[in-house]
Structure 1
Amino acid sequence: MLRDLKLAWAAPLLGIALAGVLHGCGGGGQTASNNTGGVGSGGTGSYTNGPISGLGSIIVNGVRYDVDSATLLGDDKDTGALPSADDLLVGVTVEVEGSAVTATASGPGTATAAKVRYASELIGVLGGLSPASGRPTSFTVLGQRVTVNASTVLPDTALSDGQVVVVHGLPTPGGGVTATRVDAVTAPPFYKLSGEVQSVNRTTRIITFRPGTVQVRYALSLAPSADVVTGSLLRVRVQPSNDLLNLQAVQLLVREAAAPGDREVRLEGRLSGYSVTGTTVRAYLGTTPVDLSAIPGATTLSNQTGLLEVKGRFQNGVLVATELEEEDEARTREAELYGAPSNHNQGSRTFTLRGLTIDYSAATVDANVTFNEPCLKVKGEAVSASRVSATLVKRDSDCR
């Protein structure tokens, strides 16, 4: 995946607001009044979709998945090499199918992953960096607006216009991506565009993407199916080019709605297509239909955007929500890491864990930590692609 792309660093659409209805991430959420058990209550298995927030093996939406025996499916592999756990980095967005979630007394729930799929949203030249210096809040790649929030994992060195980047993230209503991780790369074999279709001309074989400034031309052998229409979400590999009106497709992939059977589910994303019919409240999370009817106050939500974590179960292809929690995009997402420490430097108060430099100068460190034990647990902030500022360091016994 990313490592195959030569990393440059060294080591249907109206959103809904949640003001007055949901609390920010970490402050609780809204639970269905007739909740009979959300994720973690047992069942045939689990499914989650969102950015990786921790390693050892991976933590996604509050569940720690063991990936040792999982099938890994990486969309950006182009050399024929098999995906590996080294591709699963903090901020990379993944889909995970696995066992039922087991609750723990402290820390995330645990499960065993059967399949892990991961794919970037955009690969191409960065432009329109805003602000031009310091931590950016937005930029564009292949005509798509990329929003950067406090949780976005950025490269160690500052981004600049003209760089080629890989963007992982969550689609935003009306087009664009909220970035969860950005990496600078050199000489990728292809660019990638993820976005919402504005129109399809099957005579000229041109797909126009919102906001109408990007056109992808495709060969007859790549003709999209009849159900690709205005509003469809596509991922398209294109030949590297900056000519946004003449991008040449080499692969088209329809982004299908998730419907992984009768499983416990946690998804992260932005709601769109909000509608109320009597007491029935429906929306989409990305391409996934969501029934919000059991969430108190759902009928009063307004048409503004909000990044959410939704928990529930699939029934007949629809995610029936039992819990909603709004993410605080102004607050850094906490990273949680498990692993064997190395390269401890008492002077700089740093060590290495899972290939990351851990700065524990401002952390609470348990008195029995010696930095040469087989397993540590670290909580903190991913300040860049290779560095974590720890808030807690303690011994642990489970370093998968």
Structure 2
Amino acid sequence: MTNQPDNTAALSRRGALLAMAGGLATLAGCGGGGAAGAVTSVISGLSSGGTGSFTTGTIAGLGSIIVNSTRYDDASAQVSRSDDGVVGSLRPGMVVYVQASPITASTGGDALPTATANRIAYASEWVGPVGAVDTVARTLTVLGQTVDVPATAVFEDVAGLSAVRPGQFVEVHGYLNLANGHLLATRVEVSNTAPGAFRISGQVSGLNTTTRTFSLGTALIGYDTTTALPSGWANGLLVRVSVAPTQVGGLWRATRIRDRESQLADLQVEDRAESELKGTVTSLDGTNLFKVNGITVDSSTAQVSGTVALGVAVEVHGAVRNGVIVATRVEVENDEGLQVQEFDFFGTVSNLNVVTQTFTVRGVNFTYNANTRNEVPNWTTGATPSVRVRASLIAGQWVASRIRLQS
């Protein structure tokens, strides 16, 4: 995203879908039936008359939250965690699952489409001690697993990857790449205090129900007879596992094992809900069937751009049918498609200091400079207007590229 045009592509795609939905509705009303009726059945979750919407992706802004170029009002949303953690504030870089009202199209310009979130779920993927940091390859290891850390990853409490030290503890949000066993980080929270439990997610392999052991990547995990197992417990299941922080006999001992493939049911996403998914392919389940972030996608009637393969990044548009996303369009991307380059924040300015060129919006501290496009009148008077801030995280600081009054 770059200044004003940065949302144009995303907005035009969504606008095209909304316009198509309206056009097909008109055609059906004129007796157009046939193909129009078939297509309408697939995309009827759009704001032209569907029951709601569902999306999963990275939080790309606050006020309320911005996900996949749509602004979701989360004021009345039920927020939950699916990783045993304590529910806290939604922050930039977190990967979320949102069940919401139908999406209202943009009002023009670079205004964002909007919807009202009803339920939001989020979770981090890996929690544990840092084993090694490689600032050249931009990786770190957690519980022996590799985390790929792009320059766009949001860091909490440290300036960036170069400030992370072995022995510290991290909580990493992001996307699993099951082709190489890595985690692509979108947000990294760093602490010097050990958490009460570590956590790892991945695909079950090497399951031995006699010894009650299995592997996630290179981590060998044991469980006992009192451990509740998810439905369909078998090799290949995508799970998130909390483990005791001390290994016993070379094993991490599971304290809880959770299914990572039940998001639609957990959020009570209804049939016909317009859906947009951004994530990685976590399973190939047959001809035209695959999973994205654990959610099943049927691409048999979709326009597919690129080759769908395990671990690749994809963007999927479609609608929910019986717990499956029936895709109308699938776009294969590189990992940059999952990375947020610039973020948007909506809110009231506080702590403005025109000398140090700093201010705060939504609890986030920003700096600005001569290159910032500041369109707020009377900025230097210390007023506290309601603004929209576009910013990037550079060397641990949020640097505003554009500031304007909130429309």
Distance 1:349 1:223 in 2: 53
In structure 1, the residue matched to 2:68 is 61
1:224 to 2:229 alignment: yes
- Once the 2 structures are TM-superposed, how far is the Cα of residue 245 of structure 1 from its aligned partner? 3.1
Distance 2:401 2:363 in 1: 18
Alignment of 1:108-257 (within 5 A): 108-131=112-135, 137-155=138-156, 156-157=158-159, 158-174=163-179, 175-185=181-191, 186-210=193-217, 213-225=218-230, 227-241=232-246, 245-257=250-262
> What code does the residue aligned with 1:96 have?
V
- Once the 2 structures are TM-superposed, how far is the Cα of residue 209 of structure 1 from its aligned partner? 1.8
1:364 to 353, 368, 373: 373
- Once the two structures are superposed, residues 85-137 of structure 1 have per-residue CA deviations (whole angstroms, 9 ceiling, x without a partner) of xx2000111111111111122322111111111111010011232236xxx62
Compare relative contact order (CA 8 Å, sep 6+) and give the higher one, 1 or 2: 1
CA contact (8 A) 1:215 1:244 kept: no
- Once the 2 structures are TM-superposed, how far is the Cα of residue 178 of structure 1 from its aligned partner? 1.2
Distance 1:368 1:244 in 2: 65
- Structure with the bigger percentage of helix: 2
In structure 1, the residue matched to 2:28 is none
CA contact (8 A) 1:290 1:318 kept: yes
Provide the TM-score with structure 1 as the length reference: 0.80
Provide the TM-score with structure 2 as the length reference: 0.79
Q: Which runs of 5+ in 2 are unaligned?
A: 1-5, 21-34
Instruction: Indicate how the Cα distance of structure 1 residues 255 and 46 shifts in structure 2: closer, same or farther if over 3 A, else same.
Output: same
> What code does the residue aligned with 2:275 have?
V
> What code does the residue aligned with 1:199 have?
G
> What code does the residue aligned with 1:46 have?
S
2:328 to 322, 341, 344: 322
Distance 1:244 1:255 in 2: 27
Distance 1:297 1:265 in 2: 16
SS at match of 1:222: coil
1:339 to 2:350 alignment: no
In structure 1, the residue matched to 2:404 is 394
Distance 2:92 2:249 in 1: 30
In structure 2, the residue matched to 1:301 is 307
SS at match of 1:44: coil
SS at match of 1:389: strand
Distance 1:233 1:304 in 2: 13
CA contact (8 A) 2:148 2:183 kept: yes
Distance 1:199 1:324 in 2: 32
- Once the 2 structures are TM-superposed, how far is the Cα of residue 76 of structure 1 from its aligned partner? 5.2
SS at match of 1:89: coil
CA contact (8 A) 1:153 1:384 kept: no
1:265 to 2:275 alignment: yes
SS at match of 1:149: coil
Distance 1:76 1:226 in 2: 17
CA contact (8 A) 2:212 2:224 kept: yes
> What code does the residue aligned with 1:154 have?
F
State the Cα RMSD in Å: 3.0
CA contact (8 A) 2:348 2:387 kept: yes
- Once the 2 structures are TM-superposed, how far is the Cα of residue 25 of structure 1 from its aligned partner? 9.2
Alignment of 1:64-83 (within 5 A): 64-75=71-82, 83=87
Distance 1:224 1:363 in 2: 53
- Once the two structures are superposed, residues 130-179 of structure 1 have per-residue CA deviations (whole angstroms, 9 ceiling, x without a partner) of 236xxx62222123221122331124331122211000111212333211
CA contact (8 A) 1:46 1:98 kept: yes
In structure 2, the residue matched to 1:5 is none
- Once the two structures are superposed, residues 312-331 of structure 1 have per-residue CA deviations (whole angstroms, 9 ceiling, x without a partner) of 11122221222344366187
CA contact (8 A) 2:98 2:119 kept: yes
Instruction: Indicate how the Cα distance of structure 1 residues 244 and 166 shifts in structure 2: closer, same or farther if over 3 A, else same.
Output: farther
Provide the identity percentage: 34
Distance 2:277 2:48 in 1: 16
* Greater radius of gyration (CA): 2
- Once the 2 structures are TM-superposed, how far is the Cα of residue 253 of structure 1 from its aligned partner? 0.7
- Once the 2 structures are TM-superposed, how far is the Cα of residue 181 of structure 1 from its aligned partner? 0.1
Instruction: Indicate how the Cα distance of structure 1 residues 245 and 338 shifts in structure 2: closer, same or farther if over 3 A, else same.
Output: same
1:288 to 2:295 alignment: yes
In structure 1, the residue matched to 2:103 is 101
Q: Which runs of 5+ in 1 are unaligned?
A: 1-23
Distance 1:97 1:313 in 2: 12
Distance 2:308 2:144 in 1: 28
Distance 1:292 1:244 in 2: 45
Distance 1:328 1:194 in 2: 19
